[in-house]
Amino acid sequence: MMSNPLLDFSALPRFGDIRPEHVAPAIRSLLDEFGALIKRLTASTLPPTWESFIVPMNEMSERLGCAWGIVGHLHGVLDIPPWRDAYNAMLPEVAGFYAELGQNLALFNQYKALAASPGYAALAPVRRRIIDREIRDFRLSGAELPEEAKPRFKAIQEELSMLAAKFSENVLDSTNAHAEWLTDESQLAGIPSDVCHSARAAAEKDGKLGWKFTLHHPSWLPVMQYAENRALRERMYRANATRASEFTWNDNGQEKWDNGPLIGRILALRAEEARVLGYRDYAEISLVPKMADSPAQVLGFLRELAAKAKPYAERDLAELKTFAQESLGLDTLEPWDIAWASEKLREARYAYSDNEVKQYFPEHRVLDGLFSVIRQLYGVEITASEAPRWHEDVRFFRIEKNGELIGQFYLDLYARDTKRGGAWMDSARSRSKHINGITTPVAYLVCNFPGPTQGKPATFTHDDVLTLFHETGHGLHHLLTRADELAVSGINGVEWDAVELPSQFMENFCWEWDVLSMMTAHVDTGKSLPRPLYDKMIAARNFQSGMQMVRQIEFSLFDMLLHHGITHADTDVPIKQVLALLDDVRREVAVLFPPDWHRFPHSFSHIFAGGYAAGYYSYKWAEVLSADAFAAFEETAGKMTPRNSLLDRATGERFWQEILAVGSSRPALDSFIAFRGRAPTVDALLRHNGMA
């Protein structure tokens, strides 16, 4: 069995050796080993201690988590049939094991016995916090349920895991299924040349002439922004808006990739889970481990932001409609015109386009600039290294300080048909302290950017750069931890509505001249970003910020009201009810109203296939924290004469020490106050969005 590469924890994952057929034997072996450990620990008549009980539980949990994490990672970045089958075959067993683990009353009693023992008071505060959190999580997992209720609770967890996986697969499959084939070059008018080259290459790969445009973000968004062909924009908009719905069919023309029934089932199961555990609704369960106290507090927070932002959004839309009518000849601004008309307005008002800026962000310069920011803030060095990879485009890096290894990360930047959409950071290994020393953390950083074309390096839009900095912020939170206890190191256990603080914090540096001037070089001429063009970008920074903010509030309110409003569901929730709620939310806060056939919830993977159920508000919640934290750097720079760079090492060290290093060893609010010297305020967020 040790020949199975998934069971080799001695070094980095052996991606060159791991095969789908390794999954079932490896995971079953670890499940059996974990089960045997639990039986031994719960059968012991000796009082549990940290060393005899917590340490072996943590170590076994880390081994299973690492192995299953590799499988889940490959399911996300290499979603070919063998890996999909291997993942889905074991998913019920893994979900069932964790459901049983959370309901194991004997194990729960061991934690409670440790908390009640004389030795508990002598433990370090962080260890007491870990034990208290475990007890909380056992209660949320149904450990105190009557025995007759536990099988049903376990079945709910298993079914929810399978539904989430199927939801994500439906989104990917329906995204891959649609393509727009163009053979007339005149139909390409307005679309950037590098996007057209990629479309030509995609067509050639399929053995066809012409150009192939897909619903993957690097292909879809430029069409919506730049294509003069209105009919093409309409077709692409409709295809994207109806992904994974009753309007999408697979290749045999019979089965649908329809997430509507899955949504109804997921909501019913979550409502049942809440009722079984004694909560009013799933939103209440979701908020137990978060910073926010109640759904009412979250709803109040979102509606307060909406009240401040909606007048700006209405102004943004009125300006766009007037421009579209007077300058573009569009009496009616259709949904598929919004991105195109907005780009035209940006060009007219600020005399530049996203595509013009994109030419100054070749990949190598962006990465050099990103690593330079990290070096200046924290005094660490990032160097390329070698490791087994799952794809030839993946790269690997080391982070060191004074020659000491701190962490390592994989970087997978380019979009692929076999890769789920979006961008994310995930843990490959967490920092922990063992008898033999420190295990350093390892992270995955994954994006979906366009790759190199025609022998030229990949070039990124400024939004792409923001995304890269965002995910790197998550990565630094994981990699720069100084917490030695596995359960609180890095991102482990951080309140969900605070976990976006380090990521959104990093985005702010992408607007600083000191940063952009060192990370830009025109892809053809090599010249740095001109200061006049930068000044135009800054002037346009809050372009349509009102519309953007109410859009995020719309998603957040929909998510919270959806999970707060369904208190019981004897049958699956009708998708009409879900869509009606979304319409109600839009009438309250939105300024843009899509067509009746739009099916946004069907691809809202964050809340139906990710960890954001009744938690999508955390993006705006954490944005308050991140903007206020960045204001500390602004204040430090503003005190210097002449004004100093925001890349201040002393402030960076404090941010590292008080925010990044501590993980979840203390509440996130305590960490913020330790860094800022006070509780957070919304002022910096409003100022950064031009709403002060």
What residue ranges do the domains of the chain occupy? 5-102+104-144, 363-533
What pLDDT sits at residue 381? 98
471 is catalytic: yes
Rounded Cα–Cα distance for residues 585 and 232 (Å): 30
pLDDT (tens digit per residue) in 313-330: 999 999 999 999 999 999
pLDDT (tens digit per residue) in 15-31: 999 999 999 999 999 99
Rounded Cα–Cα distance for residues 689 and 692 (Å): 8
What pLDDT sits at residue 1? 47
Count of CB atoms within 10 A of residue 146's CB? 8
Rounded Cα–Cα distance for residues 359 and 193 (Å): 11
pTM for the complete prediction? 0.90
Rounded Cα–Cα distance for residues 186 and 180 (Å): 15
pLDDT above 80 (res 198):
yes
The position carrying tokens 């019920």 is: 92
Among residues 46, 9, 6, 47, the alpha carbon closest in space to that of 29 is found at: 6
Rounded Cα–Cα distance for residues 112 and 307 (Å): 46
| CATH topology match: 5-102+104-144 vs 363-533 | no
Q: Which fold does the domain 5-102+104-144 belong to in CATH?
A: Glutathione S-transferase Yfyf (Class Pi); Chain A, domain 2 (1.20.1050)
pLDDT above 50 (res 383):
yes
Of residues 1 and 536, more confidence is placed in: 536
pLDDT above 90 (res 255):
no
CATH class of the structural domain 363-533: mainly alpha
The strand ranges marked E within 172-261 are: 179-182, 211-214
Residue type, 565: G
Q: What is the rounded average pLDDT of the residues 174-184?
A: 94
Among residues 365, 398, 363, the alpha carbon closest in space to that of 383 is found at: 398
| Burial class for 399, CB neighbours closer than 10 Å (0-12, 13-18, 19+) | buried
Q: Which of these is catalytic: 134, 471, 500, 623?
A: 471
What pLDDT sits at residue 254? 54
What pLDDT sits at residue 142? 94
Q: What is the rounded average pLDDT of the residues 288-311?
A: 96
Round the average pLDDT of the chain to a whole number and report it: 95
What pLDDT sits at residue 250? 63
DSSP 20-72: GGGHHHHHHHHHHHHHHHHHHHHH--SPP-IIIIIHHHHHHHHHHHHHHHHHH
| Burial class for 122, CB neighbours closer than 10 Å (0-12, 13-18, 19+) | exposed
pLDDT range class, residue 2, cuts 50, 70, 90: low
pLDDT (tens digit per residue) in 359-380: 999 999 999 999 999 999 999 9
